[in-house]
A and B are shown apart, each in its own frame.
Chain A
Amino acid sequence: MALLELKDVQTFYGNIQALKGISISVEEGEIVTLIGANGAGKTTTLMSICGITPIRSGQIVLKGQEISKLSPNRIVKMGVSQVPEGRRIFPQLSVSENLDMGAFLRTDKEGIKRDMEEVFAIFPRLAERRSQLGGTLSGGEQQMLAVSRALMANPHLLLLDEPSLGLAPLVVQNIFEVIEKINKERKTTILLVEQNANMALKIANKGYVMQNGAIKIADTAAHLLENEEVRKAYLGL
């Protein structure tokens, strides 16, 4: 059984239909990527999974349970954590406070502490800056913080929204290495939304190509990398 399954999900912003029937399945332990142009509905898909933009029809099933009617905090409690687009860290809170907010729903102090040390081990830069305000970090550090904050929830499923946005190539490389590492070492399932299709497909098991609020192609990442259409439209080859 898939860890997460979207069945014919439709989401609207007022009268505008952003998702025109999306079906996705994410297996336990996988990295799945959603690629596509601006406005294809990638972010809306993630927001719908989290319950932040409620869906109008369809089903979202997590671990066999329908979650599309649940409030965002209930969904986070079930082990879904999101790194929102554009990082959205809390600028006036310090690095450690940001991380603590990520673990907001957890009450196991020891576990939180252990996880905080763990993310500091993954991103030593953050450890150096733990008492600095989030807003004073550089773009790359903020992205590290956003990823770490999401990890603090100790999720089964990590939703990443464009972690490469606005970052230098070297930093992007670093972030992607960490994403792979998180997947391998922590056994966290990852749903990755990316514009940088090339990088995303290289680390992913499976990919979905979105266009105009619908899934256009669904295939394994390796196949997508070789798909003529995908190469032309999204990889720029």
Chain B
Amino acid sequence: MKPRSILEDIGKSLTIAVWFMVLLFPLMVMKVNVTRGVAQVQFRWNLLPFVGIAAFVLSYLWKIALEWRERRGNDKSGGVFGKIKTLGGAYFAKPAVRTSSLVALLAFAIAYPFLFGMYHTNVMITAFIYVILALGLNIVVGLGGLLNLGYAAFFGVGAYTYGLMWKYVGPSFVASGIDPGWLFWISLPMAGIIATLFGILLSLPVLRLRGDYLAIITLAFGEIFRMVMQNSGNFTGGATGISLIPRPWFFGQKLPPTKAAIYIYFIAIVLVILTIFVVRRIEDSRVGRALEAMREDEVACEAMGINLVKNKLITFALGAFWAGIAGVVMAAQTTYINPDSFTLWESIIILMAVVIGGTGSIPGVIGGAILLKLLPEYFRALAQYRMLIYGIAMVLVIIFKPDGLIPRKRKQYTFEGKEGAK
């Protein structure tokens, strides 16, 4: 590519600025006031230069950013950032540093609810629930390469398992003097299993589908689940949902809300660690590699004797299991569920966490989920621009870091660990 002159760039940005001024004229400059049924147009000319300047600056920055991306692509050393990253990576690769920083992180996570208040603890629990969800979806999208837009339904299956257990089994527990908090511990594995069954149920009709078609069917499944929950009022409580869901059993004690939050926080942490552990094991296993192979090439998989039907069932079942678990924790935390918590939007947020963080990368997905849950929580002032910011973030990530913020690093695969490099 020939080097462009700065003047040329400025000229182009100026053209863009003029275009924006023309396009946004009716929106930003003209204001229609209706007084006593008479419409009057008020021209706010003073806004026009701001539109122009903003468009100019943004388009110029955009150009610089694109150029930077190109240069980075050509430059193998990766510039200053690349060097910092390599140095940091080498430092972090040392087992001692790695272990101690992980221990520090864990210590901080344990101290967190005691250092900060109940509000922050609750925010963190939500973030952890999303971490579990995102890790689960990562099995489906990152490993299996199957786009699932109805993932929130499995989350809902988990939450409703606990909710319905409370609604129907709870009263008899209370009547016979058993702490209903036990239901949480019964529901936790049960929700995992029921969500897994739903996952298998969903995977049956989509066995032969890929890409867009798969996305549409899973999307429909998610909406069907929500609609059924909403409209079977007698059974599920309909749009009002189920309330007063008990908090988890804690040695027969009734915890005040602050302590209960801390308790659920620790349950969530343990579940997050368990999820990370299991997902890592799956990734390193032969089954995990078979899932990846399926993502890469289905025909080649069949020629290798990999059973695609079984593989897809496994993918959906594993993904759904974690969503079910997360659902129970969510129901226990909020003590209230209704179908509105499991909309398409929820599925999209989880998918976004996976994509922005780095599809297939465990630290990336965790980071993405925490980022997407914490930022909106702490920038409530900007809540009305949330969608806008998500959209911009998504576009930026896809253009500048297509593999996500923390891209997947492939592990060196060694067979039996005995063979050396040739």
Interfacial chain B residues near A117, Cβ < 8 Å: 419
A52→B224 CA distance, assembly (Å): 33
Interfacial chain B residues near A102, Cβ < 8 Å: 304
Q: Which residues of B from 257 to 300 have beta carbons under 8 Å from A?
A: 286, 289-290, 292-293, 295-297, 299-300
Segment touching A, from B15-23, B147-155, B409-417: B409-417
Interfacial chain B residues near A97, Cβ < 8 Å: 289, 413
Instruction: Check if A116 is an interface residue, CB within 8 A of chain B.
Output: yes
Instruction: Check if B33 is an interface residue, CB within 8 A of chain A.
Output: no
**Contact between A109 and B416, CB atoms less than 8 A apart:** yes
Interfacial chain A residues near B307, Cβ < 8 Å: 71-73
Interfacial chain A residues near B414, Cβ < 8 Å: 96
A50→B302 CA distance, assembly (Å): 8
Interfacial chain A residues near B419, Cβ < 8 Å: 113, 117
Interfacial chain B residues near A73, Cβ < 8 Å: 302, 305-307
**Contact between B293 and A101, CB atoms less than 8 A apart:** yes
Interfacial chain A residues near B306, Cβ < 8 Å: 73, 101, 104
Interfacial chain A residues near B293, Cβ < 8 Å: 90, 93, 101
Interfacial chain A residues near B290, Cβ < 8 Å: 101, 104
Interfacial chain B residues near A52, Cβ < 8 Å: 299, 302-303
Instruction: Check if A141 is an interface residue, CB within 8 A of chain B.
Output: no
Interfacial chain A residues near B410, Cβ < 8 Å: 92, 94, 133
**Contact between A90 and B297, CB atoms less than 8 A apart:** yes
A104-B304 contact in complex given A90-B292, A94-B410, C-beta closer than 8 Å: yes
A84-B289 contact in complex given A113-B416, A127-B422, C-beta closer than 8 Å: no
A130→B419 CA distance, assembly (Å): 11
Q: Which residues of A from 97 to 124 have beta carbons under 8 Å from B?
A: 97, 100-102, 104-105, 109, 112-113, 116-117, 120, 124
**Contact between A76 and B422, CB atoms less than 8 A apart:** no
Nearest chain B CB to A98's CB is how many angstroms away? 8
Nearest chain A CB to B407's CB is how many angstroms away? 12
**Contact between A100 and B289, CB atoms less than 8 A apart:** yes
Instruction: Check if A26 is an interface residue, CB within 8 A of chain B.
Output: no
Nearest chain B CB to A43's CB is how many angstroms away? 11
Q: Which residues of B from 155 to 180 have beta carbons under 8 Å from A?
A: none
Interfacial chain A residues near B304, Cβ < 8 Å: 76, 81, 101-102, 104-105, 149, 153
Nearest chain A CB to B349's CB is how many angstroms away? 26
A100-B286 contact in complex given A73-B306, A127-B422, C-beta closer than 8 Å: yes
The count of chain B contact residues (Cβ–Cβ below 8 Å) is 27
How many residues of A sit at the interface, in one of the four size bands? 35 or more
Contact of B296 among A83, A90, A104, A124 (CB under 8 A): A90
> Chain A, 14-56, contact with B by CB distance < 8 Å: what is the 0/1 string?
0000000000000000000000000000000000001110000
Contact of A116 among B296, B297, B299, B415 (CB under 8 A): B415
Nearest chain B CB to A176's CB is how many angstroms away? 21
Nearest chain B CB to A75's CB is how many angstroms away? 8
**Contact between B305 and A105, CB atoms less than 8 A apart:** yes
A96→B286 CA distance, assembly (Å): 12
Instruction: Check if A128 is an interface residue, CB within 8 A of chain B.
Output: yes
Instruction: Check if A181 is an interface residue, CB within 8 A of chain B.
Output: no
**Contact between B303 and A84, CB atoms less than 8 A apart:** yes
Interfacial chain B residues near A90, Cβ < 8 Å: 292-293, 296-297, 300
Q: Which of B302, B305, B422 has the most CB of A within 10 A?
A: B305
Instruction: Check if A89 is an interface residue, CB within 8 A of chain B.
Output: yes
A196→B293 CA distance, assembly (Å): 30
Nearest chain A CB to B318's CB is how many angstroms away? 18
A127→B297 CA distance, assembly (Å): 23
A50-B303 contact in complex given A101-B290, A101-B293, A128-B422, C-beta closer than 8 Å: yes
A130→B418 CA distance, assembly (Å): 14
30 A-B contact pairs sorted by A residue (CB < 8 Å): A50-B303, A51-B302, A52-B303, A71-B307, A72-B302, A72-B303, A72-B305, A72-B307, A81-B305, A88-B303, A90-B293, A90-B297, A92-B410, A93-B289, A94-B412, A96-B413, A97-B289, A100-B286, A100-B413, A101-B293, A104-B290, A104-B305, A104-B306, A113-B419, A116-B415, A128-B422, A130-B421, A131-B412, A149-B304, A153-B304
Q: Which residues does A use to contact B, with CB under 8 Å?
A: 50-52, 71-73, 75-77, 81-84, 88-94, 96-97, 100-102, 104-105, 109, 112-113, 116-117, 120, 124, 127-128, 130-131, 133, 149-150, 153
Apart from the given pairs A50-B303, A77-B305, A90-B296, 17 other A-B contacts in the complex at a CB distance below 8 Å: A73-B307, A76-B305, A81-B305, A88-B299, A89-B297, A90-B292, A91-B296, A92-B292, A93-B289, A94-B412, A94-B413, A100-B286, A104-B286, A104-B306, A109-B416, A113-B416, A113-B419
